[in-house]
Amino acid sequence: MIPINVGGDGAAAVSVNYSFLLYPILMLFLGKLRKPPEAFLMAMTFFCLIFGISTIYQTDMLSEFVRRMASFIVFMSIFSFMFVEIDDKMVAAFKAAIVLAACYFALKSIIIFFVLGGSSLGDNAKNAVGGQRYGFIYLMAFWVTYLSSPKPLLARIVKPGLVFIMLIGLALTFSRASIVALMSSFGLFTILSLRDVSFDKLLKGALLTAIGGVLGYFILNTYFSFVLTFFGDRLFDFFSNTSLVQRHLATASSSEGARIQEWTAILNFVSNNPFTGSGYLGAWTLIKTGGLGSAHNQYFDVLLRTGIFGFLIYLAFLFQIGKLLRTRDRGLFWGLCGTIVYGMFHETFKESQGAFLLTFLLGMIAQGQLAVPNLPGLRAFVSRKPPAFTPS
């Protein structure tokens, strides 16, 4: 969960902490691997074909074979936990790791914020403590904590404090995507919760939310006043000004315009390479054709790397994860919803800490039987045995 960055601490840094892969490797040596459902094996086979075909026909990128191979291995690592058993204790440890990591990130940001001068930093605060690499971790941790039902008295006392720490950490990312994802997931959660809640619980929840909101606003206004100013100007005032939004969308030097330019370049590239995309090479390959070096979007990043069909398989797995979590773990489900929204503006599962989240969640759905669709001849093709070799 703790990223190890190579290339500095800025936007150009690459997170390389994939130590979670040591667990399935250990299970391999212990002989405790399991066979995942056939749908996973078919997906892995398809993604391998994308790599092979793109390597052969994209002759202009042969010099980048090592880089392509590394990106392919990193991408395929998300399937590693489907080969191991995941029980309830591991799920509990997974959730605890999310919360502990978020606490570490948040407390670190809070300390740095005050040591450097707090709100007196002004716009420099974004460069000093802000960043989009941890926003989705805060979202996951917030929902896991908020929807938890601890029984020990101490845990119930600590819970509100943890929730507030997650929210402060989220705010100190100085990322508008963090607030949009939180508001979107919380708004949808509220709407859906109204159907199954009694009036008494609704009144109690509204009262507690109002008290928490007033207290939170007081603390933010007192100790983190620039945070309120920042999001007031950059988010709420900005999107309420239609002409300003239109100007930014039309200007490549703005954050919004840069994303439009990058996404357009990706769509143009994929339209010419629909089956393979870039073959796992990143958005840096599009610099010569109008790209800016980063997809600024988790889904456009996958679309570029794997093409249309690989992208659809990726979305299908996200849907299956959501379907499982909706009935099994509400905290992880709503955390996933927030992360999905967040991924519309930044890479999430591409980061090493995000890759761990997705790897574990894919491992969870692999514990069941995700069957291959019953299309004519498809099951027979998957289950058939190769013909015996007869020497001539």
pLDDT > 80? residue 112? yes
pLDDT tens for each residue of 252-304: 888 888 888 889 999 999 999 999 999 999 888 887 555 566 788 999 999 99
pTM, entire model: 0.88
Residue 92 Cα distances to 97, 98, 362, angstroms: 9, 10, 16
Report the pLDDT value the prediction gives residue 382, as an integer from 0 to 100: 46
Tell me the pLDDT band of 98, cut-offs 50, 70 and 90: very high
pLDDT tens for each residue of 132-185: 888 999 999 999 999 998 888 888 899 999 999 999 999 999 999 999 999 999
- C-alpha span between 1 and 277 (Å, rounded): 29
Q: Identify whether the C-beta of residue 269 lies closer than 8 Å to the C-beta of residue 288.
A: no
Report the pLDDT value the prediction gives residue 253, as an integer from 0 to 100: 81
Q: Identify whether the C-beta of residue 170 lies closer than 8 Å to the C-beta of residue 140.
A: no
Tell me the pLDDT band of 377, cut-offs 50, 70 and 90: low
Report the pLDDT value the prediction gives residue 369, as an integer from 0 to 100: 56
- C-alpha span between 49 and 137 (Å, rounded): 32
Structure tokens at 297: 């979007």
Report the pLDDT value the prediction gives residue 370, as an integer from 0 to 100: 52
Residue 126: closest CA among 135, 186, 372? 135
Residue 67 Cα distances to 7, 71, 279, 307, angstroms: 16, 6, 11, 18
Delimit the domains of the chain by residue range: 41-369
Neighbours of 67 (CB within 10 A): 15
Q: Tokens 């980063």 label which residue? A: 294
Residue 231: closest CA among 140, 167, 143, 294? 167
Listing DSSP states for 51-104 in one string gives HHHHHHH-GGGGGGHHHHHHHHHHHHGGGGGGGS---HHHHHHHHHHHHHHHHH
Report the pLDDT value the prediction gives residue 380, as an integer from 0 to 100: 56
Q: How does the average pLDDT of the chain come out, rounded? A: 87
Report the pLDDT value the prediction gives residue 263, as an integer from 0 to 100: 92
- C-alpha span between 267 and 295 (Å, rounded): 11
* Backbone CA torsion sign across 302, 367, 134, 224: positive
Q: Tokens 């489900």 label which residue? A: 333
